[in-house]
Structure 1
Amino acid sequence: MEHGAAHGPDPTLIKDLLVFLIAAGVLVPAMRLLKMPTIIAFMLAGIALGPFALGHFAQDYPFLEYFSITEPEAAMPFAELGVLFLLFLLGVEFSFARLWALRRVVLGAGSVQTILSAVAIAATGVLLGLDLATAMILGLALALSSTAIVMQVLVEERRAALPAGRASFGVLLFQDMMVAPILIFVGFVTLKSGANLGGVLLDAFIRGLIAVAVIWFVGNFLLDRVFRLAAASGGRDFLMALTLLTVVGAGAITYSAGLSVALGAFLAGLLVGETEFKHQTEVDLEPFKGLLLGLFFMTVGMGLNLPAIASQIGWIFAALAGLIVVKVGIAYLACRLFAGRHPVSIEAALLLAPAGEFAFVVLTAAQAGRAITPDLAAFVSAVAGLSMLLTPLLGQLGRRLALRRTEAPDANGMELKEPAEFESHVILAGYGRVGQAVAHVLRSEGVMLVALDRDPAKVHQARLDGLSAYVGDAARPEILELTGIGKADQFIVTVDDAVRAETMVRCARSLHAEMLILARAHDGEHAGRLEEAGAAHVVPEAVESGLQMAGMALEAFGYDTETVRDRLALVRDEEYRRA
């Protein structure tokens, strides 16, 4: 009996798992009923159930042990998987074209925000009496933001695809690339040897390039073939295993090169997003991502040392306020220069102002190398953790401040500024039944739309629906220029006239070479002509009609809805590749 118990599951881990599931399935939904953001709900649950709240009192009241997390460190590997899944799925939704379009934000806004924030925080530390090396470590630790929390806030609020979401993501992507140099610098300071920092950084840069090259090679030449083999051999079970291998494997490759594991997961997502298995992986990973991210947010809450915070509450709040003010100002400047106008910059700046989970990694490494004292590490950790807890609230504040600077709508819901002043918007050519369906979906996600149609009745309906809509022919360049096509993100053609559709696509492409163009086609032949004209993605009506009928037939045979959706997604990708 004792022998079996010794080799059985750890009772403490089972109890901690039950506590987490109760929190995720009961406590967090109860807090959500109070209109509390999911992230804050998970973090508060982590604080309450962690070692510094109920866990602390369990020493005097043993029954509380059954309502608290005993070993938070055991959950960290699973929590980090949640972050990997989030970045992987963001990569799946992205594309190399969209990533290249963000290069100005990544390199410009990202570098300005990261470098200036680190310098400002380090300078403040020196003024407060810290030595230069310690101050620089703290500056680098607090300069970065939380990719997991910021992106989850944007995904929850359906704002990840909007300008502020793209600006935030661009800065976060640069920060992830800075992980290796920062850790190398911290290690260099802790060693205090005669090592050549420039040589170490060059070595890290070369290893990083090799890691990215390996991921790119595997993704472009092997990934699609291996996915096809798994699908042919065993269906969803093998595909799920292969997806997990792709996420974790890419993270391991970048980690071995000294880069962020999150960066590896994002690159893997980009590559999977180029295959026909894109939709399948999204469906399979979504439930795991939500639960594991919840566990990650709980571990952040569990790491807040409440007694230590209470003993220095005044200084901690002062440092927290100073951190937010400094980083908001610098992030606003960076985004204003490289990412967009005031509303975009202020919303992104407030999202990026708090510290991130990387601060704990830097502080742990610095403390292990005796570069900072335990008391200072505990103080900075408290500031970083509390700032992360504020991220959703600061995001809401940024959104409200951005909306306050946006011109008020008129009686029809129209914005008073001219379409030519818009940026990062979508131009919709045609407002018939297809155009109305497209507009309904995009409007529900908060996308800025400008509709064009030659039929005044359809334009009137678009205005009643709350769109900026105008009578005009989208095949004429002067009309498109008035809609601000030079700053538009997308141009969507929904008209059923084949010749006019091709003319519209050619006209739009001539005015904006890098814009994403989507078009409606009658059949495969028409789709080919639209792609030659400049459309990036074409939807053949014949294919979609056939898929819809096939889906109905499968459901009539007893297939469940999820299986039908997955099968259709795979066939759809194959048909579009043929078209």
Structure 2
Amino acid sequence: MAAEAHGPDLVSVVALLGAAVVAVPLFKRLGLGSVLGYLVAGLVIGPYGFALFNDAQSILHVAELGVVMFLFIIGLEMEPSRLWGMRRQIFGLGVAQVAVCILLLSGVGLAMGFPPTVAFVAGTGFVLTSTAIVMQMLEERRMVGIRAGQRIIAVLLLEDLAIVPLLALVAFLAPGGVEMTAGARWQAVGIGLASIAALVAAGLWLLNPMFRLLAEARAREVMTAAALLVVLGSALAMQLGGLSMAMGAFLAGVLLSESAFKHQLEADVEPFRGILLGLFFLAVGMALDLAVIAANWSVVAVGVVAYMMFKALAIYGIARLGHADHREALERAVLMAQGGEFAFVLYAAAAAVGIIDAPTNAVLTAAVIVSMVLTPVMIMLHDRLMPPEMPSLDGVEAPDHNSASVLIIGFGRFGQMVGSSMLTRNCSISVIDTDPEMVREANAYGFRVHYGDGTRLDILHAAGAGRARLIICCVDDRETALRIVHLVKDEFGGIPVLARAFDREHAIRLVEAGADHQVRETFESALAMGREALIRLGNADEEADEVIATLRRRDTERFAMEMSQGMEAGRRLLLSHRADWLAAHEGMESEPQQGGAGTP
């Protein structure tokens, strides 16, 4: 790096952060997307811009952890049953797309004059789509959860898996690579399988108990450290086994996708994922070698155009064969036409064993980076030329309110009763609670409860607060409830919030904080107890109901007065009500005496 100083190199850190802070909002405002903003910012501060950084590769190696963390978060959303349901797309659609693209792009390499082995390696590297760019685009376009996005993710997963046999094939194709013994190959396969088995075993029997113990300690920073340990440890386990780090993190996420700590893990990893993924795109921009492009501009230009065009055609054709319509197939082709970060790994491995020389490696790497830079521009042009269709409502029935999503925060005795009432009407509910013992017991009884702190905005987002139709705060701590209501109304103002109140003063503060409805935890139960007592003392049901209705009406009047005029006005109204009650009580007691004296 250009800037050197004693102690931490703050100039470099400030340059990275400043480039991202300036470029990304500007490019998003221009409609060009955040990815292109990062890439251009990296180019500006890199060796061919202001030269604040001279070694982009060292930054790129660190920033690849952003891709690792991204796949961990994707894994958290992929429950095993859901992943099993995608098996045909992963191993059917994915294998078909990779095989056809390798065949076509190898032909492109031969047409460009590369020897057969070099043409195969060059085309195979370009086949591996950029997981980082595509996943970022899917997230920005809100496609991760829809069927079209799921098909793209299935292919990306297959490509991540394919890097392992492709690296083995590169070693086999190397000069002298045929001499590798069968025993060595089986040993490599065995190490890979052992790494996967060890990770699965840890996910099934170790991770949940570990997080439960850490949750009971209530040390937030340790939970964050544990989340990072899981992501990086799983990536390291796969790397030591000769497999993809990203696939290790994805597998760890899948194993924890049904854990009660899912939302907490997602919220803890998300900030690091965002920063490192942005750093990855910055490093890719820095790695764009303008000298190589200038010296070989015709080869790079022809290679980028030919590789992207034929890859897009293959993706479009496979998508149509898979029964995708024209719009979905075209969108998939545009999104996945670029080369990816795994191409750098494959080309470096091929250069290390002598399949390609250093100038060819530089040209191929530059072609991949240029394709990554062009992807946001192509998507922008696609969206301009093919604006999204308005969905047809023909034959669509009105939504069923019983299917509304409800987020319940706090699952003690109060929250359990509220949740039970939702479930009796088949409402879909999401529940978070900070008591690990409560989470374990609730899950044992069939409730789906996750560990999470409702006072943290990131966990509320992870728990689906932004998509809920109703949020119910059932925590039993006054200040915590107030913080949650404030946070929810500030961030999700359009979603109704119901809150559990401790007493009248707390209820007023909750309403002032924005709660749409509050219930004092003892008020209704006290009225029910009073009604039962009146009936057991000989009063008719109707008389008891009238008394309870009067008490509820007067309480509502007092609450409204205290809201508008303050607590003192409410106390005066309460004294007035008590005076009325005493007067009525004295009149009831004097009537028999007067009747006994013969007074009419």
Gap change, CA 1:205 and 1:219, over 3 Å in 2:
same
1:176, distance to aligned residue in structure 2 (A): 0.5
Inter-partner Cα distance in structure 2 for 1:132 and 1:546? 61
CA distance in 2 between counterparts of 1:209 and 1:31 reads: 44
| Structure 1 residues 104-130: Cα deviation after superposition (integer angstroms, max 9, x where no partner) | 111011111112211211122223332
Partners of 1:24 and 1:291 within 8 A in 2: no
Separation (CA, whole Å) in 1 of partners of 2:44 and 2:362: 19
Q: 1:378 aligns with which of 362, 383, 395?
A: 362
Question: Are 1:268 and 2:193 counterparts?
Answer: no
Match of 1:350 among 312, 334, 358: 334
CA distance 1:339–1:282, change in 2 (3 Å): farther
Alignment coverage as a number of residue pairs: 446
Residue aligning to 2:474: 549
> Residues 339 and 374 (structure 1 numbering): CA distance in 2 closer, same or farther, change over 3 Å?
farther
The AA in structure 2 aligned to 1:266 is F
Partner of 1:18: 14
Equivalent residues in 2 for 1:95-106, closer than 5 Å: 95-106=79-90
Q: What CA deviation, in whole Å up to 9, does each residue of 1:375-404 have, x standing for no partner?
A: 211211111001111222334455567757
Alpha-carbon distance between aligned partners in 2 of 1:322 and 1:382, rounded to the nearest angstrom: 14
- Which of 48, 54, 57 is the matching residue for 1:52? 48
Q: 1:289 to 1:546 in 2, by over 3 A?
A: closer
Q: 2:234–2:252: 8 Å Cα contact kept in structure 1?
A: yes
Secondary structure (helix, strand or coil) at the match of 2:174 reads helix
| CA offsets 1:290-337 (integer angstroms, 9 cap, x no match) | 111110001111111112213333332222111111111111222333
Contact 1:272 1:278 in 2 (8 A): yes
Is contact 2:20-2:37 (8 Å) kept?
Answer: no
Aligned equivalent of 2:318? 334
Aligned to 1:430: 400
Structure 1 position 391 matched with structure 2 position 389: no
Q: Does residue 85 of structure 1 match 2:10?
A: no
Question: Given that residues 24 and 33 in structure 2 are in contact (C-alpha distance below 8 angstroms), is that contact kept between their aligned partners in structure 1?
Answer: no
- Partners of 2:423 and 2:119 lie apart in 1 by 64
Matched, 1:172 2:142: no
Describe the shift of the 1:69–1:282 C-alpha distance in structure 2 as closer, same or farther (beyond 3 A): same
Which residue of structure 2 aligns with residue 212 of structure 1? Answer: 196
C-alpha contact 2:130 2:338 (8 A) present in aligned 1: yes
Out of 7, 10, 18, which is 1:9 matched to?
7
| Partner Cα distance (1:556, 1:519) in 2 | 23
Provide the rounded CA distance (Å) in 1 between the counterparts of 2:356 and 2:446.
Answer: 64
Query: What is the CA–CA distance in structure 1 between the aligned matches of 2:488 and 2:148, rounded to whole Å?
Result: 35
Assess, with a 3 A threshold, how the Cα gap between structure 1 residues 176 and 402 changes in structure 2: closer, same or farther: farther
Question: Contact conserved, 2:235 with 2:247, CA < 8 A, in 1?
Answer: yes
Matched, 1:69 2:69: no
Query: Offset of 1:277 from its aligned partner?
Result: 1.0
Q: Match of 2:144?
A: 160
Deviation at 1:530, TM superposition (A): 11
Structure 1 residue 7: Cα displacement = 12
Cα deviation digits, residues 467-488 of structure 1 (max 9, x gap): xxxxxxxxxxxxxxxxxxxxxx
Which secondary structure state, in structure 2, belongs to the residue aligned with residue 550 of structure 1? Answer: coil
Tell me the distance in 1 between the aligned counterparts of 2:302 and 2:229.
45
Contact 1:180 1:204 in 2 (8 A): no
**Is 2:135 the partner of 1:138?**
no
What is the letter of the counterpart of residue 132 of structure 1? P
Q: Give 1:563 shift.
A: 12
The two structures have a TM-score, normalised by structure 2, of 0.67
CA contact (8 A) 1:351 1:395 kept: yes
Instruction: Give the aligned partner of residue 297 of structure 2.
Output: 313
The aligned counterpart of 2:261 is 277
Aligned-residue CA RMSD (Å)? 3.7
Rounded Cα–Cα distance in structure 2 between residues aligned with 1:428 and 1:301:
48
Q: 1:552 to 1:219 in 2, by over 3 A?
A: same
CA distance in 2, matches of 1:254, 1:72: 25
Contact 1:519 1:530 in 2 (8 A): no
* Separation (CA, whole Å) in 2 of partners of 1:367 and 1:400: 40
Change beyond 3 A, Cα 1:561–1:207: farther
SS at match of 2:92: helix
Q: Unpaired segments of 5 or more residues in structure 1?
A: 1-5, 56-67, 420-426, 439-493, 503-517, 532-538, 566-579
The CA deviation at 1:21 is 1.4
| Structure 2 CA distance for partners of 1:310 and 1:106, relative to 1, 3 Å | same
Shift of 1:520: 6.5
Matched residue of 1:173: which SS?
Answer: helix
Match of 1:119?
A: 103
1:29 counterpart = 2:20 = no
For the pair 1:255 / 2:239, whether they are aligned, the reply is yes
Alpha carbons 2:172, 2:178 under 8 Å: kept: no
User: Per the alignment, in what secondary structure is the counterpart of residue 304 of structure 1?
Assistant: coil
The CA distance in 2 between the partners of 1:114 and 1:202, in whole Å, is 24
Residue type of the alignment partner of 2:150: R
Displacement after TM superposition at 1:86 (Å): 0.8
The residue that corresponds to 2:78 in the other structure is 94
Q: What's 1:188 paired with?
A: 172
Structure with higher Rg: it is 2
SS of 1:178 mapped into structure 2: helix
Residue deviations 1:265-300 (CA, integer Å, cap 9, x gap)? 111111222211111112222222111111000111
- Mark the CA change 1:529 to 1:339 in structure 2 (over 3 Å): closer, same or farther: farther
Deviation at 1:69, TM superposition (A): 1.9
CA contact (8 A) 1:50 1:301 kept: yes
On the 8 A contact 2:71/2:246 being kept in 1, the answer is yes
Give the counterpart letter for 1:79 in structure 2: A
Contact in 2 for aligned 1:145/1:353 (Cα 8 Å): yes
Distance apart, 1:142 and its partner CA: 0.9
SS in 1 for 2:271: helix
Q: CA shift at 1:206, angstroms?
A: 3.5
Quickly say closer, same or farther: Cα 1:390–1:553, change in 2 above 3 A.
Answer: farther
Contact kept in structure 2, 1:181 and 1:204, CA below 8 Å: no
Q: Is 1:302–2:298 an aligned residue pair?
A: no
Q: Which runs of 5+ in 2 are unaligned?
A: 407-418, 431-440, 449-463, 491-600
What amino acid is aligned across from residue 238 of structure 2 in structure 1? Answer: T
Question: Following the alignment from structure 2 to structure 1, what is the Cα–Cα distance between the partners of residues 36 and 471?
Answer: 45
In the alignment, the residues of structure 1 paired with residue 488 and residue 182 of structure 2 have an alpha-carbon distance, to the nearest angstrom, of 54
TM-score (ref. length: structure 1): 0.69
CA contact (8 A) 2:28 2:37 kept: yes
Query: What are the superposed Cα offsets for residues 381-438 of structure 1, whole Å, 9 maximum, x if unpaired?
Result: 111001111222334455567757x5x66xxxx345x66xxxxxxx985147x74x78
Shift of 1:24: 2.2
Aligned equivalents of 2:366, 2:189: Cα separation in 1: 32
Structure 1 residue 28, shift from structure 2 partner = 2.8
CA contact 1:95–1:274 (8 Å) conserved in 2: yes
Superposition deviation, residue 519 in structure 1: 4.1
Q: Distance in 2 between matches of 1:84 and 1:561?
A: 34
User: SS at 1:383's partner residue?
Assistant: helix
8 Å CA contact 2:32, 2:380 repeated in 1: no
Q: 8 Å contact 1:91–1:270 — kept in the other structure? A: yes
User: C-alpha separation between the residues in 2 aligned to 1:243 and 1:530?
Assistant: 24
Q: CA distance change for structure 1 residues 314 and 134 in 2, over 3 Å: closer, same or farther?
A: closer
